[in-house]
Amino acid sequence: MHLGKKVVHDSAKALLDLHQNFPEFFQDIVHFLSDISGKVVCTGMGKSHHVAEKIAATLSSTGTPAFFVHPAESMHGDLGMIQDHDVVLALSLSGETAETIQLLKHSPTRLSIAITAKPHSTIARLSSWVLPIPEYPESCPLGLAPTTSCVMMMALGDALAMALLSHKNFSKQNFRAFHPCGSLGEALRPVAEVMQPAPVFPENTSFKTMLIQWINLQTPLVGLIDQQGILTATIAASDIQNWNAWDAKPLLCSEMPAANPLIQTQCVLDNTLWMDAVKIMRDTGQKAMFVVNERNQPAGIIHDGLGKTS
């Protein structure tokens, strides 16, 4: 097995070991963190620093306010960032990192959680709670560079964030409020922000009139509405291609044999998330769908070419 593959293999085994020896008080810590009035202050030196920063970012984006404080900088004024109702989440494989110990000793808050492989270390003794990770060998050929230990710390941080997300009933809409940009922000937009104007015609519109206007609209789907403006049927471009209306006598749109009676998957409510609407279209093989309000009145149309910003 070449070294690259061995590193991945070792990481997988370390995570399995963590899974089999999962911290006993994990759920108690989740309940504890869900009730705090302050923030989670993540800290660590070296590679633990970078893991702690990622944990802080994940917690913050999923409903648990958190930030990172560098242990060394904390002794030169950054302790002022910590308040007495915050909780320190300290990462240290050995549990004896001098700078992290100093932060815990001088911290304005006495509440802290340690992630360490040494549950009887100084950092563990200074902490209110301990989340132990297995003492698993690092993948580094020298046995020095933190590798498997970082993977396990990261996994525990993600486990905390996801457990807190679930406990707080943090929703997709909540997530979007913290993440409005990028591909995730786009996917979490309601379809009302993505849709195009609804191409609709009264049921008594002549088929040829509708067809001429449809060509100018260049949409894959049109809808028929009744006198109350309620969507009653849809006509797809494929319906026109499969039926030669020009050889038939003039018809009203509602008399067209291919007009599709509405089914649940042919339209979505205007508060549906774009990502959910895309999944419906993919699952049902539809290229376009109507967006309707609670009264089933058309508000717009979406199709698989929408939802992408420049």
pLDDT computed for residue 262 by the predictor: 63
pLDDT computed for residue 244 by the predictor: 59
Check residues 39 and 198 and name the one with the higher pLDDT: 39
Of the chain, the percentage scoring pLDDT greater than 90 comes to 52
Classify domain 3-170 at the CATH superfamily level: Glucose-6-phosphate isomerase like protein; domain 1 (3.40.50.10490)
The mean pLDDT of 134-153, rounded to a whole number, is: 92
Q: Is the pTM value of this prediction over 0.85?
A: no
The mean pLDDT of 34-63, rounded to a whole number, is: 96
pLDDT computed for residue 243 by the predictor: 62
Check residues 266 and 56 and name the one with the higher pLDDT: 56
Q: Is residue 152 within 8 Å of 136, Cβ to Cβ?
A: yes
Q: Is the pLDDT assigned to residue 291 strictly greater than 80?
A: yes
- What value does the mean pLDDT of the chain take? 88
Check residues 237 and 144 and name the one with the higher pLDDT: 144
Q: What is the residue extent of each domain of the chain?
A: 3-170, 191-303
Closest CA to 274 of 231, 309, 238: 309
CATH number of the structural domain 191-303: 3.10.580.10
**pLDDT tens, 17-31?**
999 999 999 999 999
HSE-CB at 248 with a 13 A cutoff on CA atoms is 14
At 257, the pLDDT band (50, 70, 90 cuts) reads low
Q: Is the pLDDT assigned to residue 92 strictly greater than 70?
A: yes
Neighbours of 55 (CB within 10 A): 25
Q: Is the pLDDT assigned to residue 258 strictly greater than 50?
A: yes
Count of helices and strands (H, E) across the chain: 12, 12
At 3, the pLDDT band (50, 70, 90 cuts) reads confident
At 250, the pLDDT band (50, 70, 90 cuts) reads low
Q: Is the pLDDT assigned to residue 309 strictly greater than 70?
A: no
The mean pLDDT of 72-84, rounded to a whole number, is: 95
Task: Round to whole Å and give the CA distance between 104 and 71.
Answer: 9
Task: Round to whole Å and give the CA distance between 51 and 38.
Answer: 21
